[in-house]
């Protein structure tokens, strides 16, 4: 992205923030232009984000499964994971993300979907992660989830991208897949990912982003916004270490305006408020935390100035 | 574009300590008779290994083959593999170790176990005692239930540690071939425990270093290069 494009992006992002803040809320907060109320009356008033390539909307917070859902054949722990999924769906969540790399997490999600009868509620998101036969792996992943078709499949950490990305596009063309994406994590291979974003018609990218790891703000998020690519955010809490370090610290005074009750919600609002971000996917083992995370997708969001304050406060504390 | 070596150690950790230690809880409560038998097998093997002049070398090797077979099938395949996709790649190593123990047991001149009074003997005894007696209680220090104890013969870590000890207590030209599998396991496990913030990772690494050092010392002193004679087999005290 050129400097001119980047300035245009920052300006438009600011404009969105300014539009959303008119009159209704206190200074420093806004209801973004992309936010829409849920149409289902039995669900909380969840902020929805638009997938740029189709205009479809999805709830602004999802559910990750890295580590937390890899519980093997332990039925007690599988039931706990199903409880997390139940709380997530009840709070209005839809997107659940997994990977063949996450051990038994895919089986556990399939178990939860069966137990809850929730196949029609989930926005199913998984990955292809192999340098071998991607089609075989995707078929196995479908069996584990017990779904016939995924909403989104992503090339995990760009592994085997020269084979796997064309495979996903072919599946999309054949109507076997709705969206195609590519992922990275831990801020690695950002340049490679951006090259793919520039050259391919991706629907989604997935990157690591939180108030401490902000490298993607500089070029990648503006590029995604510019190219109309939805952004999933992994490691919003740095695998839990961020919220652990903030535990016990009082929330900043300005957080009251955002109606947040925890650091986790403050971090999620920080992420959701970015105009390029579509859906952070925090992972948890506790149903209460799943509901708390979803609640971050309600109420006012911080504007640019407050987002900087959030990053500054958290940067000092961790 | 991206390759396997791009991954850091933390990326490859896929499960939490909570789930990992529940594996032992489930295994210990489900297979308690086999788990207890494996510990007893370890105790018998250690008793035989320390009885100077005893001719039970084949029994020790057979017992070690059996506990490695159970550890590979029982713990690794039945319990660990569902949460760790790397296990199928490591299982052949366990199968190899079983075959090696069986080959040594079947040889006309099997390894000779016994106390030599040198550094390797002290280290070997310490490792065996630690694996059999101390390791199961480490979890208590970290606040875990005793039901989650990792026991020699079933859990891979104490089995590998104890095996290093048994090998150091042995004599025989080819004993070194019994070291790579438990050494590699200890290194991999140390990495896993390290990213899970478990202090016992340092013990696993220390065991690797001290075993390699003692192995080198024995090689230098000719402990392992000297072939055992028929007379020595018949009269181990000689």
Task: Report the gap between the CA of A180 and the closest CA in chain B (Å).
Answer: 18
Chain B residues with CB inside 8 Å of A192's CB?
Answer: 1-2
Give the predicted TM-score (pTM) of the model: 0.84
Nearest CA in chain B to A155: B2
Closest partner CB to B85 (pick from A103, A185, A186): A103
Task: Report the gap between the CA of A263 and the closest CA in chain B (Å).
Answer: 22
What's the CA gap between A213 and A238, in Å, rounded?
Answer: 9
Closest partner CB to A103 (pick from B1, B7, B15): B15
Closest partner CB to B6 (pick from A68, A101, A188): A188
Please write down the HEC assignment for all residues of chain A.
CCHHHHHHHHHHHHHHHHHHCCCCCCCCEECCCCCCCCCCCCCCCCCEEECCCCCCEEECCCECCCCCCCCCCCHHHHHHHHHHHHHHHHCCCCEEECCCCCCCHHHHHHHHHHHHCCCCCCEEEEEECCCCCHHHHHHHHHHHHCCCCEEEEEEHHHECHHHHHHHHHHHHHCCCEEEEEEECCCCCCHHHHHHHHHHCCCCEEEEECCCCCCHHHHCHHHHHHHHCCEEEEECCCHHHHHHHHHCCCCCCHHHHHHCCCCHHHHHHHHHHCCCCCCEECCCCCCHHHHHHHHHCCCCCEECHHHHHHHHHHHHHHC
Task: Tell the residue number behind the tokens 């959303």, with chain if given.
Answer: A20
- The CATH number of residue A184's host domain is 3.20.20.100
Task: Report the gap between the CA of B65 and the closest CA in chain A (Å).
Answer: 27
Chain B positions contacting chain A at CB under 8 Å are 1-3, 6-8, 11, 13-16, 18-19, 22-23, 26, 79, 82-85
Chain B residues with CB inside 8 Å of A64's CB?
Answer: none
End-to-end CA distance of chain B: 63
Residue stretches of chain A with pLDDT short of 70: 1-44
pLDDT number for residue A14: 41
pLDDT number for residue A183: 96
A79 and chain B in contact, CB less than 8 A: no
Closest partner CB to B14 (pick from A103, A107, A157): A103
A67 and chain B in contact, CB less than 8 A: yes
Quick check: A70 and B83 CB within 8 A?
yes
Residues 111-150 of A with CB under 8 A from B: 131
How many inter-chain contacts (A to B, CB under 8 Å) are there?
Answer: 63
What's the CA gap between B79 and B200, in Å, rounded?
Answer: 21
Taking Cα atoms as reference points, which of A274, B27, A290 lies closest to residue A282?
A: A290
Task: Tell the residue number behind the tokens 């000297």, with chain if given.
Answer: B226
Quick check: A70 and B3 CB within 8 A?
no
Chain A residues with CB inside 8 Å of B8's CB?
Answer: 186
pLDDT number for residue B233: 56
Domain span at A228 = 3-317
pLDDT in tens, B108-148: 888 889 888 899 999 999 999 999 999 999 988 888 999 99
Closest partner CB to A157 (pick from B2, B23, B26): B2
pLDDT number for residue A186: 81
Chain B residues with CB inside 8 Å of A66's CB?
Answer: 14
Closest partner CB to A159 (pick from B2, B8, B83): B2
Write down how long chain A is.
Answer: 318
CB B163 within 8 A of CB B182: yes
Closest partner CB to B16 (pick from A67, A131, A192): A67
CB A91 within 8 A of CB A310: no
Nearest CA in chain A to B6: A188
Quick check: A189 and B82 CB within 8 A?
no
Quick check: A157 and B6 CB within 8 A?
yes
Q: How many CB atoms lie within 10 A of CB A237?
A: 23
Task: Report the gap between the CA of B20 and the closest CA in chain A (Å).
Answer: 8
pLDDT number for residue B238: 46
Q: Dig out the tokens for B228 from the structure.
A: 């055992």
Task: Report the gap between the CA of B146 and the closest CA in chain A (Å).
Answer: 19
Number of domains in chain A: 1
pLDDT in tens, B29-80: 999 999 999 999 999 999 999 886 657 899 999 999 999 999 999 999 999 9
pLDDT number for residue B149: 96
Closest partner CB to A72 (pick from B3, B13, B82): B82
Quick check: B1 and A71 CB within 8 A?
no
């Amino acid at each position: 992205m050129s400097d001119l494009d980047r300035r245009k992006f920052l300006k438009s992002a600011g404009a969105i923030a300014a539009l959303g803040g008119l009159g209704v809320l206190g200074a420093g907060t806004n209801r973004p232009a992309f936010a829409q109320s849920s149409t289902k009356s039995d669900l909380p008033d969840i902020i929805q984000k638009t997938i740029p390539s189709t205009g479809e909307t999805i709830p602004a917070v999802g559910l990750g499964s890295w580590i937390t859902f890899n519980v093997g054949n332990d039925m007690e722990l599988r039931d706990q994971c199903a409880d997390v999924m139940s709380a997530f769906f009840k709070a209005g969540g839809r997107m659940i993300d997994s990977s063949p790399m996450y051990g038994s997490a895919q089986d556990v999600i399939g178990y939860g979907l069966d137990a809850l009868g929730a196949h029609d509620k989930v926005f199913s998101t998984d990955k292809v992660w192999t340098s071998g036969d991607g089609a075989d792996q995707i078929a196995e992943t479908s069996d584990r989830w017990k779904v016939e078709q995924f909403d989104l499949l992503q090339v995990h950490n760009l592994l085997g991208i020269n084979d796997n990305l064309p495979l996903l596009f072919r599946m999309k063309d054949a109507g076997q897949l709705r969206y195609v994406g590519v992922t990275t994590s831990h801020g690695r291979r950002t340049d490679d990912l951006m090259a793919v974003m520039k050259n391919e018609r991706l629907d989604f990218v997935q990157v690591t982003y939180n108030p401490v790891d902000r490298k993607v703000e500089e070029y990648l998020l503006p590029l995604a916004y510019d190219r109309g690519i939805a952004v999933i955010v992994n490691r919003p809490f740095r695998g839990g270490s961020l919220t652990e370090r903030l535990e016990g610290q009082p929330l900043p005074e300005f957080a009251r305006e955002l109606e947040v009750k925890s650091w986790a919600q403050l971090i999620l609002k920080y992420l959701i408020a970015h105009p390029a971000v579509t859906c952070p996917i925090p992972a948890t083992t506790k149903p209460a935390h799943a509901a708390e995370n979803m609640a971050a997708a309600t109420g006012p969001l911080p504007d640019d100035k407050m987002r900087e304050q959030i990053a500054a406060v958290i940067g000092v504390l961790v | 574009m991206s390759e396997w070596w791009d991954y850091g150690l933390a990326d490859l950790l896929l499960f939490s300590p909570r789930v990992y230690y529940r594996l032992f809880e489930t295994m210990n409560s489900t297979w308690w008779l086999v788990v207890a038998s494996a510990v007893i097998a370890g105790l018998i093997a250690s008793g035989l290994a320390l009885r100077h002049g005893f001719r039970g070398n084949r029994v020790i090797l057979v017992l070690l083959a059996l506990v490695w077979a159970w550890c590979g099938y029982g713990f690794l395949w039945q319990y660990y593999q569902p949460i760790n996709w790397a296990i199928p790649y490591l299982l052949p190593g366990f199968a190899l170790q079983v075959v090696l123990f069986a080959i040594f047991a079947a040889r006309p001149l099997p390894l000779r176990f016994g106390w030599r009074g040198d550094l390797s003997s002290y280290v070997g005894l310490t490792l065996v005692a630690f694996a059999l007696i101390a390791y199961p209680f480490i979890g208590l220090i970290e606040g875990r239930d005793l039901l989650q104890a990792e026991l020699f013969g079933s859990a891979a870590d104490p089995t590998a540690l104890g095996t290093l000890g048994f090998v150091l207590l042995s004599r025989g030209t080819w004993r070194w071939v019994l070291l790579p599998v438990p050494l590699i396991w200890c290194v991999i496990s140390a990495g896993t425990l390290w990213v899970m913030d478990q202090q016992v990772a340092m013990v696993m690494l220390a065991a690797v270093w001290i075993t390699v050092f003692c192995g080198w010392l024995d090689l230098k002193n000719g402990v392992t290069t000297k072939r055992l004679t028929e007379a020595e087999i018949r009269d181990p005290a000689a």
